[in-house]
Amino acid sequence: MKKILAIVAVATTLLLTGCSQVGTAASLGSTKITQATVQGSIDAILAAREGVDTSQMQLETGEALNRGQLRFHLLTAILREVGKELKLSVSKAEIDTRRQSILDQVGGADALPSALVGAGIAPNDFDQYIEAISLSDKISQAITAAGVAESEVGTEIQKLVVAKAKELGVTVNPRYGTWDATVADVVATDSANSAVTPSTK
């Protein structure tokens, strides 16, 4: 924990550039997130919407949907790396248990499709979503155990995510937006222009 917290205080340079490989949506260090992976999530979400009543939902579309799905895959990858640093992982049994808990919360398997659509989660990414939130919970517990006040846990997780992204280096394909290193997020290119200056590898 001390090691990763120390990273937060270190001034590092993050290369902000479009990925050189045509099929890459983003990369985190040596981890590549392909455009096919992101598109698969988008296609699954759009297909799932056709089967539920979305009239009362505020759903992402177009570029926002593209960014949202890349953000999901990229954040999961970053959380996995933070987890490795802290020797934390999520087992299949833990995912299965949490899946059942979520099913109970939303009202059973029949209600799950609508819940996933409302949350912007592709059905095929449900286990990955559970892994991400479970990792986040475990990281929260580790931070609390290290003596951080509960009111500061969210801020500390954000710091760890930002620091790990800077340590490993993130690149984002310009078609999805721009990587904002200060908050570790994929943002619309226009909204990032005033705060972030992309540089080329």
Chain centroid offset of residue 143 CA: 19
pLDDT in tens, 105-114: 999 999 999 9
Residue-level pLDDT at 16: 35
Residue-level pLDDT at 200: 37
* pLDDT above 50 (res 20): no
* pLDDT above 80 (res 5): no
Going 114 to 62 to 22 to 179, the CA torsion angle's sign is negative
As a whole number, mean pLDDT of residues 142-163 equals 93
pLDDT in tens, 36-46: 999 999 999 99
Provide the whole-model pTM: 0.82
Going 96 to 97 to 98 to 101, the CA torsion angle's sign is positive
As a whole number, mean pLDDT of residues 126-130 equals 97
* pLDDT above 60 (res 198): no
| Domains observed in the chain | 2-9+19-192 (1.10.4030)
In the chain, the percentage of residues whose pLDDT exceeds 90 is 82
Residue-level pLDDT at 191: 57
φ, ψ for residue 57, nearest 5 deg: -105, 145
